[in-house]
Structure 1
Amino acid sequence: MLYRFHSIHQHPHHPTQHIQPLPLPKQPQYGRRPNKPTALAATPGLAPQAQLNISHSNSRISAVLPTGESVEILLYGATIISWKDAKGEEKLWLSEKAKTDGTSAVRGGIPLVFPVFGKAPDHAATSKLPQHGFARTSRWEFLGKSTSESSSSTDGGDSSVKLDFGLSSNNLSEESKKAWPYEFGLIYSVTLGKDGLRTSMVVRNEGESAWEFQVLMHSYLRIAGISNISIMGLESSSYVDKVTAPISTKTSPSAPLTITGVTDRVYTPAGGPEAPVAVLEGGKTKFSIVRDNLNEVVVWNPWTDSKNIADFGPVEGWKNMICVEAGAVGGWQKLEAGETWEGGQVITAI
């Protein structure tokens, strides 16, 4: 059973930044005439609504706005595998070899990392967990949808749709429970709008003892060509270079970041957790990422090392993807019993 959180507790030493929820959907106002003809029951002229579809033996959720934007999410890992604009143009990169049948973590889209980023052999509580934890390899529950209506368009209609997913201790495999025996509740919300995609996570300690975690939204963004992009918002920032041996901490130059080889870096943007990060293509903004309570940004591209990644395809797919990942992975977030943490991102496609 997943707990639904009605209140957020804030510990004095662990401030929580909140993501404002979307307004509740407005209810259409029908006439009150007692003898209203039954033919009007269908309410012709009702504003267009977002369409929801559950498919693939109840393992996949998709939503489409009246204006054509769409999103598709696997219950396995609550992994977003597709995000398209109104013209049907895909914004996320998904490997041709990605397994979407629930047998392994998905290569591409937006997988979720929790409760550990990478592996942490020196962190006793998570040392027994596999790479990137268990959130991306557990089956989540679909908790439902909510919508908001447009106030600017002439025909009204839904301007966004929010899909909520839940994962708790009770959903885990016995192996995962044994490796990480803590009581928790997660609510992951995916909000599809006309201009962007919002993903947010609520983490709650449902047990009686404190525990620590890391969280990251591993976004694979689709681009036309890696040699033609630059990333702004990471200038003059501290970063951990995971490619160098030994792993070292450096400071980035004042110029935008370009990708010229294997890249695996964890940035702490100098502008702070609310400073936007932009992916430019040909000097023009293609994506903008705004974070909330996610202090770090991971940038990853395997370059030609993609040939050594079994589920990466096509081999030269690295030319058409860049991972710009918002997360809280620079240290550990600690939650005492009953405490809640919340963070998220908004990706805008220009």
Structure 2
Amino acid sequence: MVERANRPSALSATPGLAPQPQVTFSDDNSSVRAVLPTGESVTVLLHGATITSWTDASGSEKLWLSSSAHLDGSKPVRGGIPLVFPVFGTAPDHAQTASLAQHGFARSSRWEFLGKSTSESASGDGAADLSAKLDFGLSAAGLSEEAKGKWSFAFNLIYSVTLNRGSLTTSLVVTNDDEKAWDCQVLLHTYLRVKDINEVEVHGLDGAQYVDKVDGAKTKSQSGAVKITGETDRVYTPVANGPVTVAEGGKKTFTVTRDNLSNVVVWNPWTDKAAGMGDFSPKDGFKNMLCIEPGSVSGWQSLEPGDAYEGAQTITYHS
């Protein structure tokens, strides 16, 4: 055998792919969880396609979830990000949705997991930023018999949850699969976690008209930042499609950007309202949450047969 002076050395390890996002089901197949290699995670309950957790790389939770929230499918989830469709609140004067329960049926129906996808982009420091996208679907065939009896139109919903380093994007595509037109409203009912509601200010709504549901649905105009000092339930129509930011103690903590969603609901139940809700706990939990809810709820989206409507939000957190 002839010895080769410059023969290649053996490889110490077989090269492989860089770490990828991991997507797993819970043991009972009730939820789906995505985790990025850097540690960020999101958990989506198939009941309502409700996001129940969103954490940063250190495991710090960004959403507020009631400790007595129903996660077994028996009731809509109190906290996280529930979906509102096809009606916001109740609409007794709107014939198509008059008989539906509060906030419609999307948040109380079991959705189908349609699949996952990942993407990679170069970040400013030369590293690769990975993201994970989870898709969920709901159609008329997936509704309960009770819901079908109250809203008999054919439809298709595709809900996408995209986890990035530092942000979370949720988008909903609504398609009319019926032979006749129907109306709908859409809202992303986001419960953000805060440290102390008394230190919170909401910026980006200055000059916006809003309906004050705590004060007889009077129409008012916002002046300056929004501060939460009592029960708050307002439907804002911002003058521009700019971002809404949440600051705590003067430091920006969240930025919410909207795509094709003309309204922003700001909600906090405060003391008495929280005390009266059986699934809201701890009862002083209102001190640690604020709902910033992008939606299209001041009027109706009217979809002709075959038409589609899409709305989305991106929430970015600031460390």
Q: Which position in structure 1 is the counterpart of 2:225?
A: 256
Q: Which position in structure 1 is the counterpart of 2:5?
A: none
Structure 2 residue runs of 5 or longer lacking an equivalent are 1-9
Q: Which position in structure 1 is the counterpart of 2:7?
A: none
Partners of 1:278 and 1:288 within 8 A in 2: yes
Quote the offset at 1:58 in angstroms. 1.2
The alignment status of 1:217 with 2:185, answered yes or no, reads: no
Q: Which position in structure 1 is the counterpart of 2:29?
A: 58
Q: Which position in structure 2 is the counterpart of 1:269?
A: 238
* Partner Cα separation in structure 1 for residue 120 and residue 210 of structure 2: 41
> In structure 2, which of residues 49, 52, 55 is the aligned counterpart of residue 78 of structure 1?
49
The alignment status of 1:69 with 2:40, answered yes or no, reads: yes
User: Which residues of 2 match residues 142-153 of structure 1 at below 5 A?
Assistant: 142-152=113-123
**For the structure 1 residues 171 and 238, does the alpha-carbon distance in structure 2 shift closer, same or farther, using more than 3 Å as the test?**
same
Q: Which position in structure 2 is the counterpart of 1:134?
A: 105
SS in 1 for 2:42: strand
Q: Which position in structure 2 is the counterpart of 1:297?
A: 264
Greater C-alpha radius of gyration:
2
The alignment status of 1:195 with 2:166, answered yes or no, reads: yes
Deviations 1:57-91 (A, max 9, x none): 21110000000000000000000000000010000
**For the structure 1 residues 154 and 251, does the alpha-carbon distance in structure 2 shift closer, same or farther, using more than 3 Å as the test?**
closer
> After the TM superposition, which segments of 4 or more aligned residues of structure 1 sit over 4 Å from their partners?
none
**For the structure 1 residues 259 and 155, does the alpha-carbon distance in structure 2 shift closer, same or farther, using more than 3 Å as the test?**
closer
User: Which residues of 2 match residues 335-350 of structure 1 at below 5 A?
Assistant: 335-350=303-318
* Partner Cα separation in structure 2 for residue 264 and residue 67 of structure 1: 37
Quote the offset at 1:248 in angstroms. 1.0
* Partner Cα separation in structure 1 for residue 107 and residue 117 of structure 2: 24
Q: Which position in structure 1 is the counterpart of 2:253?
A: 286
User: Which residues of 2 match residues 168-247 of structure 1 at below 5 A?
Assistant: 168-245=139-216, 247=217
Q: Which is richer in strand? A: 2
Tell me the TM-score normalised to structure 1 length: 0.85
Deviations 1:138-169 (A, max 9, x none): 0000000010113236564x610000000000
Indicate the percent of aligned positions where both proteins have the same amino acid.
Answer: 60
AA in 1 matched with 2:35: V
Q: Which position in structure 2 is the counterpart of 1:311?
A: 279
* Partner Cα separation in structure 2 for residue 219 and residue 69 of structure 1: 18
Quote the offset at 1:45 in angstroms. 3.3
Deviations 1:170-223 (A, max 9, x none): 000011011000000000000000010000000000011000000000000000
Q: Which position in structure 1 is the counterpart of 2:89?
A: 118
* Partner Cα separation in structure 1 for residue 17 and residue 127 of structure 2: 9
Partners of 1:47 and 1:155 within 8 A in 2: no
Q: Which position in structure 2 is the counterpart of 1:29?
A: none
Quote the offset at 1:127 in angstroms. 0.3
Q: Which position in structure 2 is the counterpart of 1:107?
A: 78
Tell me the TM-score normalised to structure 2 length: 0.94
SS in 1 for 2:18: coil
* Partner Cα separation in structure 1 for residue 37 and residue 17 of structure 2: 12
AA in 1 matched with 2:114: L
Q: Which has the higher contact order (CA 8 A, sep 6+)?
A: 1
Q: Which position in structure 2 is the counterpart of 1:8?
A: none
* Partner Cα separation in structure 1 for residue 269 and residue 233 of structure 2: 8
Structure 1 residue runs of 5 or longer lacking an equivalent are 1-38
AA in 2 matched with 1:86: A
Partners of 1:298 and 1:325 within 8 A in 2: yes
When the two chains are superposed, the root-mean-square deviation of aligned CA atoms in Å is: 1.4
SS in 1 for 2:122: coil
* Partner Cα separation in structure 1 for residue 303 and residue 14 of structure 2: 49
